[in-house]
């Protein structure tokens, strides 16, 4: 059973994240953690995303308990990691110029083994590739936005180079795919 | 979180921390493992090893490897007037309360290389309080403390610090407080007259005074819940009634019983006041 969704986005991420979150219903059964690269301290991102999605969206606080149907965003200037059912923040050095770093979040999520889903969206760098590979190595599910449908294709391409067997999906199919993966009862009626 | 048999990586990390504790008396066992794990693995790779257990083996027999790991585990990144709005709130909401005391004791816990302590000193100085204040700035990292005691910071950082200072409501120009010497900005010794830098480990050392203000930012995010509780008990023991506590921008007081002992002073800036 999948119990964690982690998503990384960079350039063009706001539009992409909105598209991914919009189809998710309020009873979405897993918590979602997001790293979106941001250049300034504006904390409006949570509000912007909340406006177009049915889930609760807010910036993570240290040791926040993960909750199904709640989206936690990495705050500006902090790495976001997951440990068990808690969100952890750190001010460790930027990783490849980024803090928050997508790799850092995804690598921590890899500890969830086959219960984790990692998603890499649009971006103009290679952040997330190593993290997605870690998730895959530990048996988790890897989804990459089809570079063709990405505002910037570099990040999805790098992720695909690192995880050749990742599922490649056009943007509008990622949300429905998450619904299908995370809510097995609707996908497999009658399953225990 | 205790590891289980089907989590061999978690077990290896636990055994490493246990070894460091038993062999050298340094206790990282209550730290949040998610961020520790990254740094431990970095050290494993840099030492040319394959596993965390390999690193444990080295550390048990070679203190120099431990030294290197300790450097990795100690995250000293800091800034002057980090999060200017926090320092603005201190100036506007905390200083007027501190002013009511004949003598003000401030504890800057986890002060790293001293930038935060100097920021506090400047705010107290501009409020006319520094003369009757004492700032106890503590950290577990001796290297960071030694740096802090020099009272100088990299000159190249001053542009950012100046912006922070102004956004925090600074009354003057930050450059009035330092002189450039080589690549360093050497701060006015007047600021350090009532400042003490001392070694203190929040995990194992006790309360050592009663304070009117405790500032502990971006330190407890590295601690697990249990250790956070321990440190919050320590802070409660170390605050005068109605004393003030300032945490990092994204930190909360854990657990709820201890949070209930405080009321928010400036909630958005994680500035709290002890109820009694
Ligand atoms: C990221 S720095 C924060 C510096 C400063 N407070 C700030 O917010 O800019 C974290 C500091 O906490 C210190 N620290 C970590 N564990 C500690 C402990 N158990 N006792 C005392 N200090 C500790 C580290 O040595 C480091 O200097």
pLDDT of residue A187: 45
Confidence category of residue A183, pLDDT binned at 50, 70, 90: confident
| Side-chain half-sphere CA neighbours of B150 within 13 A | 14
Residues of chain B contacting residue A59, judged by C-beta atoms under 8 Å apart: 250
Of B179, B110, B182, nearest to B148 by C-alpha is B110
pTM confidence score: 0.94
Q: Which of A64, A79, A108, A127 is catalytic?
A: A127
Report the DSSP pairing between strands A141-145 and A79-83: unpaired
Given an 8 Å threshold on Cβ–Cβ distance, is A83 in contact with B249? no
Please indicate whether residue B77, judged by its CB atom, sits closer than 6 Å to ligand 1: yes
Residues of chain B contacting residue A108, judged by C-beta atoms under 8 Å apart: 34, 37-38
B34 vs A: CB within 8 A: yes
| Side-chain half-sphere CA neighbours of B271 within 13 A | 19
SS (H, E, C) B198-257: EECCCCCCCCCCCEEEEEECCCHHHECHHHHHHHHHHHHHHEEEEEEEEECCCCCCCCHH
Of A116, A115, A74, A112, nearest to A95 by C-alpha is A74
Task: Please tell me the distance from the alpha carbon of residue A150 to that of residue B193, in angstroms, as a whole number.
Answer: 57
CA dihedral A126, A127, A132, A137 (to 10 degrees): 80
Ligand 1 centroid–CA B2 distance in Å is 24
From A78, A82, A107, residue closest to B250, measured CB to CB: A78
pLDDT of residue A192: 39
Please indicate whether residue B214, judged by its CB atom, sits closer than 6 Å to ligand 1: no
Residue A43 scores a pLDDT above 80? no
Quick one: which atom of ligand 1 is closest to the CA of B77? Answer: 1
Dihedral pair phi/psi, residue B150, rounded to 5°? -70, -20
Given an 8 Å threshold on Cβ–Cβ distance, is B218 in contact with A91? yes
Percentage of chain A beyond pLDDT 70 is 93
Judge if ipTM > 0.90. Answer: yes
pLDDT of residue B5: 53
Q: What mean pLDDT value characterizes chain A? A: 93
More confident site: B185 or A185: B185
Task: Please tell me the distance from the alpha carbon of residue A135 to that of residue B208, in angstroms, as a whole number.
Answer: 45
**How many CB pairs (< 8 A) connect A and B?**
60
Residue A127 appears among annotated catalytic residues:
yes
Task: Please tell me the distance from the alpha carbon of residue B178 to that of residue B87, in angstroms, as a whole number.
Answer: 19
pLDDT of residue B3: 52
Give just the sign of the alpha carbon dihedral B109, B139, A86, B228: negative
Task: Please tell me the distance from the alpha carbon of residue A110 to that of residue B207, in angstroms, as a whole number.
Answer: 39
pLDDT of residue A191: 42
pLDDT of residue A157: 98
Instruction: Work out the number of other CB atoms within 10 angstroms of the CB of residue A125.
Output: 17
pLDDT mean values, one per 10 residues, chain B (276 residues) = 63 94 92 93 95 96 93 91 97 98 98 98 98 97 96 97 97 96 98 97 96 98 96 98 97 95 98 96
Of B188, B222, B185, nearest to B203 by C-alpha is B222
B38 vs A: CB within 8 A: yes
Cis peptide before A125 (omega within 30 of 0): no
pLDDT single digits (tens) A112-147: 999 999 999 999 999 999 999 999 999 999 999 999
Q: How many helices (H) and strands (E) does chain A have?
A: 7, 9
Run of H or E including B266: strand B262-266
Run of H or E including A65: none
Please indicate whether residue B116, judged by its CB atom, sits closer than 6 Å to ligand 1: yes
Given an 8 Å threshold on Cβ–Cβ distance, is B221 in contact with A90? yes
Which string of b and e fits A31-47 if b means at least 16 CB within 10 Å?
bbbbbbbbeeeeeebbe
Given an 8 Å threshold on Cβ–Cβ distance, is B1 in contact with A81? no
């Amino acid at each position: 059973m999948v119990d964690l969704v982690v998503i990384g986005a960079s350039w063009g991420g706001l539009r992409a994240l909105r598209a991914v979150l919009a189809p998710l219903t309020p009873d979405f059964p897993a918590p979602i953690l997001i790293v979106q690269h941001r250049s300034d301290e504006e904390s409006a991102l949570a509000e912007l995303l909340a406006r177009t999605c049915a889930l609760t969206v807010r910036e993570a606080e240290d040791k926040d308990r993960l909750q199904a149907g709640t989206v936690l965003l990495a705050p500006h200037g902090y790495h976001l990691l997951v440990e068990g059912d808690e969100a952890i923040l750190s001010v460790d050095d930027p990783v490849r110029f980024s803090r928050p770093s997508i790799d850092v979040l995804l690598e921590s999520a890899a500890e969830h083994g086959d219960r984790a889903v990692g998603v890499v969206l649009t971006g103009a760098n290679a952040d997330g590739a190593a993290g997605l590979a870690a998730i895959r190595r530990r048996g988790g599910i890897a989804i990459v936005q089809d570079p063709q449908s990405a505002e910037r294709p570099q990040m999805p391409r790098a992720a695909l180079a690192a995880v050749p067997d990742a599922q490649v999906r056009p943007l509008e199919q990622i949300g429905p795919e998450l619904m299908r993966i995370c809510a097995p009862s609707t996908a497999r009626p009658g399953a225990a | 979180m205790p590891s289980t048999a089907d989590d061999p990586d978690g077990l290896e990390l636990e055994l490493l921390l246990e070894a460091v504790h038993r062999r050298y008396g340094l206790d990282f066992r209550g730290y949040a493992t998610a961020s520790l794990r990254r740094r431990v693995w970095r050290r494993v790779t840099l030492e040319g090893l394959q596993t965390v257990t390999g690193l444990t083996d080295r550390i048990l027999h070679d203190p120099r490897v431990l030294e290197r790991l300790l450097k990795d585990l100690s995250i000293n990144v800091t800034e002057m007037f980090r999060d200017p709005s926090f320092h603005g709130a201190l100036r506007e909401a905390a200083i007027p309360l501190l002013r009511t005391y004949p003598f003000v004791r401030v504890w800057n816990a986890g002060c790293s290389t001293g930038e935060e302590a100097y920021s506090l000193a400047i705010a107290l100085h501009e409020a006319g309080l520094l003369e009757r204040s004492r700032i106890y700035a503590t950290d577990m990292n001796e290297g960071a403390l030694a740096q802090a005691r020099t009272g100088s910071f990299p000159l190249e950082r001053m542009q950012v610090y100046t912006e922070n200072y102004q956004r925090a409501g600074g009354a003057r120009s930050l450059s009035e407080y330092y002189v450039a010497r080589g690549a360093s900005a050497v701060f006015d010794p007047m600021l350090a007259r009532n400042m003490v830098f001392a070694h203190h480990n929040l995990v194992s050392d006790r309360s050592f005074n009663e304070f009117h203000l405790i500032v502990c930012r971006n330190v407890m995010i590295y601690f697990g819940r249990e250790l956070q509780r321990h440190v919050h008990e320590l802070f409660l023991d170390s605050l005068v009634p109605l004393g003030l506590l300032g945490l990092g921008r994204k930190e909360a007081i854990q657990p709820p019983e201890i949070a209930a002992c405080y009321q928010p002073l400036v909630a958005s800036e994680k500035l709290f006041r002890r109820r009694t």
